[in-house]
Structure 1
Amino acid sequence: MEVRTPLIAEMNRAINKQQFDRDNPVIAVFKGLHEYVTGFESSLDDDHEVGARLVTFGQSIQIHVQNIGYKAPFLITFTGVDSTGSQLQLVQHVSQLSFLLVAVPKLQEKPFRVGFIWDK
């Protein structure tokens, strides 16, 4: 019978999570999005925030991005609002991802900065 201490059990969980992160394509895509969005966001002035223009079926929607998250193994989620203030959530498979970053005028006094929801 194998006896495991809490420390060994925690180490095993950490090793399994590291292996999962390496083997899961959504983690790499999410980390790349994080780098691109934070880089883009750092170039914005105080009158703009990160927006995205989504083009599907001949229609274009512009959103003010509030959060980006993921659901393993293949889904990326984007939440935000459109120019009318309507709440939006886009759920997209990593193989279909196309995300055009645009600077959009802020909707409130203080510009919103994107939150990243890790390890959903």
Structure 2
Amino acid sequence: MVKPTTPPLFGHMTPAHSPFDDVLSGIQENEHRKANPVIRTAENLKKYIEDFEASLDAEHEVALRIASFGGVVQFHAETIGFAKPDLVTFIGITDEGERVQLVQHYTQLNFLLKAAKKLQPQARRIGFL
């Protein structure tokens, strides 16, 4: 015997979309950005790096110099991203061709942006995730 099914309460109703929904969504997104410092940090990093890249000629690309490993590590940055709630990631390649990925807490960021000779025929520009 087949049992009759009952439709979910209000299942047949679809809410109408209102322009206020878009405004509310925008407000919620802004509040989320304000509440999450790693997002603001990533946005600020992106602006600083894009401004620095804009000053480079076609023969140079951005290299990051990090001085917190008992020595100095320099690499050509390819990608910068973040992982909520508090990590920023840098992916790139050293002058010797070694792949590197640096993961740092957003409160520990401290590095030097440097113009470095390009490693490939075309200078790389950093991608942001």
Greater strand share, structure number: 1
In structure 2, the residue matched to 1:54 is: 66
Give the drift of 1:3: 5.8
Contact 2:42 2:88 in 1 (8 A): yes
| TM-score, with structure 1 as normaliser | 0.85
Structure 2 Cα separation of the partners of residues 24 and 58 of structure 1: 31
What is the CA–CA distance in structure 1 between the aligned matches of 2:14 and 2:30, rounded to whole Å?
A: 23
SS of the residue corresponding to residue 59 of structure 1 reads coil
Change (3 A) 1:3 1:18: farther
Question: In the alignment, what sits opposite 2:7?
Answer: none
Residue 94 of structure 1 aligns with which residue? 106
When the two structures are aligned, how many residues end up with a matched partner? 117
Alignment of 1:74-85 (within 5 A): 74-85=86-97
Q: What is the identity, as a one-letter code, of the residue corresponding to 1:84?
A: E
Gaps of 5+ in 1: none
Residue 33 of structure 2 is aligned to residue 21 of structure 1? yes
Q: Tell me the TM-score normalized by structure 2.
A: 0.80
State the distance in 2 between where 1:101 and 1:109 align.
Answer: 21
Q: Where do residues 23-38 of structure 1 align in structure 2 (5 Å cutoff)?
A: 23-38=35-50
Deviation at 1:16, TM superposition (A): 3.3
What do the CA deviations read for 1:13-41 (whole angstroms, capped 9, x no partner)? Answer: 55433321111101111111011100100
Q: CA deviation at 1:77?
A: 0.5
Give ranges in structure 2 of 5+ residues lacking alignment.
1-9
Residue 73 of structure 1 aligns with an amino acid whose one-letter code is P
The structure with the largest alpha-carbon Rg is 2
Is the aligned partner of 1:111 residue 2:97? no
CA–CA distance in 2 between the matches of 1:82 and 1:4? 54
Q: Residue deviations 1:19-74, cap 9 Å, x none?
A: 21111101111111011100100111111000000112421110000011001111
Q: For residue 109 of structure 1, give the secondary structure of its aligned residue in structure 2.
A: coil
The one-letter code of the counterpart of 2:97 is G
The 2-side partners of 1:113 and 1:48 are apart by 10
**C-alpha root-mean-square deviation of aligned residues, in Å?**
2.2
